[in-house]
Amino acid sequence: MRIIRYCLPAALLLVTASCSGNSSGGDPPEVTEAAPARVRRITRAEYDNSVYSIVKNPTPVPMAQLFAPEDTLLGFTTHDRLQVTPLLADQLDSAAERNWGPVAVNNLASEYECAAGKSEEDCARAFIRVLGARAFRRPVVADEEKDLLELWNAVRKDTSPKAAAEYVIQAVLTSASFLYRTELGESGAPANQVVWLTQQEIASSISFAITGAPPDAELTAAAAAGVLKSADVRESHARRLLKTKQSQQYLQRFVIEWLGLSGLESLNKNNQVFPDFSVAFKDSSRRETLTFIDHVLANEEASIKTLLGADYTFADGRMSLFYGTTLTPDGTIGRVPLPANRVGILTHASVLTTYALFDSSSPIRRGKFVLTRLLCREVPPPPPSIIIIPPAVDPTSTTRARFAAHTNNPACAGCHRDLDPIGFGMEDYDGLGKYRTEENGLPVDASGSVVTEDGTHPFTGGAALARFLSESPDVANCVPLQLFRYVMGRDEDTVDARTLEDMRRGFRADPKLKLGDALVALVRSPYFVHRRTTSPE
379-417 pLDDT tens trace: 887 777 666 677 778 888 899 988 886 666 666 666 678
* 530 contacts: CB under 8 Å, gap ≥ 6: 29, 30, 31, 34, 185, 194, 195, 196, 197
* Confidence (pLDDT) at 402: 86
* Confidence (pLDDT) at 65: 87
* Confidence (pLDDT) at 393: 80
Angle at 354 between CA 350 and CA 356, to 5 degrees: 120
Phi-psi region of 192 (alpha: psi -120 to 50; beta: other; left: phi over 0): left
In angstroms, the CA 265 to CA 432 distance is 14
Number of domains in the chain: 2
In a domain, 139, yes or no: yes
Angle at 446 between CA 443 and CA 447, to 5 degrees: 120
What averages of pLDDT result for each successive group of 10 residues across the chain (537 residues)? 44 47 67 96 96 82 89 96 95 93 92 93 96 97 96 96 96 97 91 96 98 97 98 98 97 98 95 95 97 98 98 97 92 95 98 96 96 94 71 85 73 75 97 97 97 95 98 98 98 96 97 98 98 79
The DSSP output letter for 73 is: B
What phi and psi values does residue 304 have, to the nearest 5 degrees?
-70, -30
Query: Please, are residues 258 and 482 in contact by the beta-carbon 8 Å criterion?
Result: yes
In a domain, 521, yes or no: no
* Secondary-structure breakdown of the chain: helix, strand, coil percentages, each rounded to the nearest 5: 50, 10, 40
* Confidence (pLDDT) at 10: 46
In angstroms, the CA 527 to CA 506 distance is 16
What phi and psi values does residue 509 have, to the nearest 5 degrees?
-65, -30
CA distances from 246 to 58, 138, 209, 301, 353 (A): 15, 21, 11, 15, 29
The DSSP output letter for 257 is: H
In angstroms, the CA 299 to CA 278 distance is 31
In a domain, 347, yes or no: no
In angstroms, the CA 503 to CA 517 distance is 8
In angstroms, the CA 479 to CA 485 distance is 10
57 with 197, same domain? Answer: yes
Closest by Cα among 107, 110, 11, 123 to 60: 107
* Confidence (pLDDT) at 63: 84
Q: What type of residue is 72?
A: T
The DSSP output letter for 302 is: T
In a domain, 114, yes or no: yes
Q: Tell which of 201, 226, 251 closes a domain.
A: 226
**Residue 456: burial class (beta carbons within 10 Å; 0-12, 13-18, 19+):** exposed
Cα 329 to the center of its chain, rounded Å: 34
341 forms beta bridges with none
In a domain, 499, yes or no: no
The DSSP output letter for 213 is: S
Closest by Cα among 481, 501, 499 to 491: 481
* Confidence (pLDDT) at 8: 45
User: b or e along 84-99 (b: 16 or more beta carbons within 10 Å of the residue's beta carbon)?
Assistant: beeebbebbbebbbeb
In a domain, 102, yes or no: yes
What phi and psi values does residue 405 have, to the nearest 5 degrees?
-70, -35
Query: Please, are residues 152 and 166 in contact by the beta-carbon 8 Å criterion?
Result: no
* Confidence (pLDDT) at 534: 83
Reduced to 3 states (helix: H, G, I; strand: E, B; else coil), residue 472 is coil
The whole domain housing 426 covers 355-471
334 forms beta bridges with 315
The pairing of beta strand 38-41 with beta strand 180-183? antiparallel
In angstroms, the CA 283 to CA 493 distance is 40
Query: Please, are residues 292 and 246 in contact by the beta-carbon 8 Å criterion?
Result: no
In a domain, 155, yes or no: yes
In a domain, 270, yes or no: no
219 with 363, same domain? Answer: no
Q: Tell which of 456, 471, 486 closes a domain.
A: 471
In angstroms, the CA 221 to CA 486 distance is 27
Phi-psi region of 361 (alpha: psi -120 to 50; beta: other; left: phi over 0): beta
Residues found in the chain: 537
Q: Tell which of 226, 260, 277 closes a domain.
A: 226
Closest by Cα among 136, 171, 175 to 150: 171
* Confidence (pLDDT) at 511: 96
* Confidence (pLDDT) at 61: 76
Alpha helices in 56-198 (DSSP H): 86-95, 101-107, 109-112, 120-136, 142-156, 161-173, 176-179
223-278 pLDDT tens trace: 999 999 999 999 999 999 999 999 999 999 999 999 999 999 999 999 999 999 99
